[in-house]
Amino acid sequence: MKLLPVSLAALAAASLATPALADDYGAQTEQAAGQYPMTPEGAASWVAMVEKDLFDYSVHASQIYWVNATYITHDTDALAAKVGAEGTEKSVNYALEAAKYAEIDGLDPEVARKLDILRNGIVLPAPTADGAATELNQIATSLNSQYGKGKGTLNGKEISGSDIEAEMGNLERTPAELAEMWASWHTNVGAPMKDDYARMVEIANEGAKELGFDNVGTMWRSGYDMPPEEFSDELERMWQEVAPLYHSLHTYVRTKLNEKYGDDIQPATGPIRADLLGNMWAQEWGNIYPLVAPEGSGDLGYDIGDLLTAQGKDPMDMVKIGEGFYSSLGFKPLPETFWERSMFTKPADREVVCHASAWDVDNKDDIRIKMCIKVNADDFVTIHHELGHNYYQRAYNQQPYLYLNGANDGFHEAIGDFIALSITPEYLVQIGLLDRADVPSADKDIGLLLRQAMDKVAFLPFGLLVDKWRWGVFDGSITPADYNTAWHDLKREYQGITPPVERPADAFDPGAKYHIPGNTPYTRYFLARILQFQFYKAACDQAGWEGPLHRCSFYGNKEVGEKLNAMLEMGASKPWPDALEAFTGSREMSGKAMMEYFAPLKEWLDKQNAGKPSGW
């Protein structure tokens, strides 16, 4: 689970400096100045020392985090908290020092790149002023706690976050019930956080300035091998490439909701009511697919879970099938330790974290997955996805410690998702799970593509606007008085949705989305959605696939595997355009491949939408 290198991952979770920072920092700075002078040579020696320290720490920390995730007790929780605090303090101290060394003229380019990685490794930096780290830590802890304890209501009765999320996708619920759940969750969870959030922004911006950035938003956008302003423009360009597809989907779904609920609930024009889309944040619409499914094309004619069961496959067999996909591309088999140390099913004797994740414990080849696998289609796809992370981790294991990561923070998720896209009927035939006679006919394609689009395409504007809002908050263009208005303005502008009830200007609806109080940057998810289709098209082109892109299989193609590995083994050692070019031949992230993948759906949607008003 090397989210970043693990010391920086621990930081991403904790987000800020420990209270001990102010006391320790002065002494450590003095010591560093003596051993590692402010010269190019001193900077190189300091970076080498830091990499060695973080490498050793990360192995120890990963072992503790693994035990905690697969054996949850009071004691393993305490061990994980302790090692997390240690990692946070290391990362903060090293980031502050890196900011100083980065100012030296004549730095070796490799050293300069590593200093930037260290400087950008902090999600929410605390300034060194007395008490600032403690206050920031307290606020962040409080925000997380408030979210975790959050409750909404359903028919006047309290309902927990996980339950309310499930109920928002329950098609049996009335519009009044959906509106109640939406409004109660946003009011109860978000509003109490507002003052704390504003204070947190104020403190963190001071910390960002000490690291040499104008504000936290600039710091977040500085990790993409281009000026922050240029990166913002790149995101907008990618959005404009895929926006026509989203607009067509929006028009079609709005029409279907209007047919179901009538003009009083969902008008045939304008924005869509946010609570009618099957998700609290209207970020993925898959839960309402039954309401919009094309007549007669929704059933594929097979279920992967049934195919697996019919052949007597168990969870371990499913992982072996996943490994076989990568082996067919020429990747080496997974090490024996993978099979010995991974957690494939839920143990009967203890509490574990079942959420699927891929781990790199020793920065070499102790790679593992942690899942509670069930024999069904979702877990079959997830296995292929998680193994994508593992093969990426192993591919770059020869890189220095600070390069043990994806080329940018969208790459890792995109690799897993791109592999998951490859589970097409043709692939299932090739591995002997599906008879060729049972391959769905072309008339099923629209249903399949629409089902995918309801999640992958519907997500795009939300994936973009979350950080657009935060960047405005961090640079001061969105003030606390305008937090809520600006949030809903962005949601209307990009998503074309509107709240089910009027929202007060002093509310704090952004806080009702975990990643806001949790301080998790969100742009990576937008990038991953774009990149996965770009990777997929590149693989299909290399394999000489000639049919519709969404039916492509490159199973067994060693040339694809060779080019993919060339990108993966670079890790974070080069600017991401270099890595992208190694596999796709392009130095530009682009939504064009996604548009090609969904082209048959776009054509079909436009026919369904003929004569209907579009936009909002």
Give yes or no for a contact between 592 and 584, defined as CB atoms under 8 angstroms apart. Answer: no
Nearest to residue 89, comparing CAs of 167, 24, 180? 24
Strands 367-370 and 157-160, bridge-based pairing? unpaired
- Cβ atoms within 10 Å of 229's Cβ, excluding its own: 10
Tokens 């043709």 locate to: 426
Q: Tell me, what's the pLDDT at 490?
A: 98
The dihedral over CA atoms of 348, 354, 357, 362, expressed in degrees to the nearest 10, equals: -40
Percent of the chain with pLDDT over 70: 94
- Is the pLDDT score of 607 beyond 80? yes
Q: Tell me, what's the pLDDT at 88?
A: 82
- The DSSP annotation for 537-599 comes to HHHHHHTT--S-GGG---TT-HHHHHHHHHHHTTTTSS-HHHHHHHHHS-SS--SHHHHHHTH
> Length of the chain, please?
616
Alpha helices in 367-459 (DSSP H): 377-395, 411-421, 425-430, 445-456
Asked which of 438-442, 470-474, 494-498 is least confident by mean pLDDT, the reply is 438-442
| The model's pTM | 0.92
Q: Tell me, what's the pLDDT at 300?
A: 72
CA distances from 606 to 85, 156, 218, 548, 589 (A): 53, 42, 39, 19, 26
| CB-count burial class (<10 Å; 0-12, 13-18, 19+) for 174 | exposed
User: Whole-angstrom Cα distance, residue 459 to residue 454?
Assistant: 8
To the nearest whole number, what is the mean pLDDT of the chain? Answer: 92
pLDDT band with cut points at 50, 70 and 90 for residue 254 = very high
Please tell me which of 84-98, 320-334, 347-361 the model is most confident about, judged by mean pLDDT.
320-334
Nearest to residue 91, comparing CAs of 474, 303, 401, 319? 401
- The DSSP annotation for 423-444 comes to --HHHHHHTTSS-GGGSPPGGG
Selecting among 386, 413, 426, 550, the annotated active-site residue is 386
Q: Tell me, what's the pLDDT at 441?
A: 85
Longest dimension (CA), the chain: 75
Give yes or no for a contact between 418 and 388, defined as CB atoms under 8 angstroms apart. Answer: yes
pLDDT (tens digit per residue) in 141-167: 899 888 888 999 999 999 988 889 889
- Is the pLDDT score of 297 beyond 80? no
- Side-chain-side CA neighbours of 142 within 13 Å: the count stands at 15
Could you say which DSSP state residue 343 is in?
B
* Triad 511, 515, 520: Cα angle to 5°: 135
Report the helix count and the strand count for the chain, using DSSP H and E. Answer: 26, 6
pLDDT (tens digit per residue) in 10-62: 444 344 444 444 445 555 555 666 789 999 999 999 999 999 999 999 999 99
Nearest to residue 589, comparing CAs of 407, 394, 457? 407
Concerning whether 386 is annotated as a catalytic residue, the answer is: yes
Query: Domain residues of the chain, as ranges?
Result: 6-120, 140-200+226-295+456-518, 308-422+525-595
Tokens 């920031």 locate to: 136
User: Whole-angstrom Cα distance, residue 302 to residue 298?
Assistant: 11
Q: Tell me, what's the pLDDT at 18?
A: 45
Q: What are phi and psi of 61, to 5 degrees?
A: -65, -40
pLDDT band with cut points at 50, 70 and 90 for residue 276 = very high
pLDDT band with cut points at 50, 70 and 90 for residue 101 = very high
Own/partner contacts of 196-201, CB < 8 Å, gap of 24 or more, are 196/139, 196/142, 196/143, 197/143, 197/483, 197/508, 197/511, 197/516, 197/517, 198/480, 198/483, 199/135, 199/139, 200/124, 200/136, 200/139, 200/140, 200/143, 201/473, 201/474
pLDDT (tens digit per residue) in 399-450: 999 999 999 999 999 998 999 899 999 999 999 999 999 998 888 899 989 9
Q: Tell me, what's the pLDDT at 573?
A: 97
Give yes or no for a contact between 454 and 292, defined as CB atoms under 8 angstroms apart. Answer: yes
What is the pLDDT averaged over residues 114-120? 94
CA 347, 351, 356, 358 torsion-angle sign: negative
Give yes or no for a contact between 393 and 510, defined as CB atoms under 8 angstroms apart. Answer: no
Q: Tell me, what's the pLDDT at 149?
A: 87
- Is the pLDDT score of 486 beyond 50? yes
Selecting among 177, 515, 559, 596, the annotated active-site residue is 515
CA distances from 127 to 216, 306, 446 (A): 12, 56, 53
Give yes or no for a contact between 43 and 111, defined as CB atoms under 8 angstroms apart. Answer: yes
- Is the pLDDT score of 377 beyond 70? yes
pLDDT (tens digit per residue) in 503-562: 998 999 999 999 999 999 999 999 999 999 999 999 999 999 999 999 999 999 999 999
Concerning whether 515 is annotated as a catalytic residue, the answer is: yes
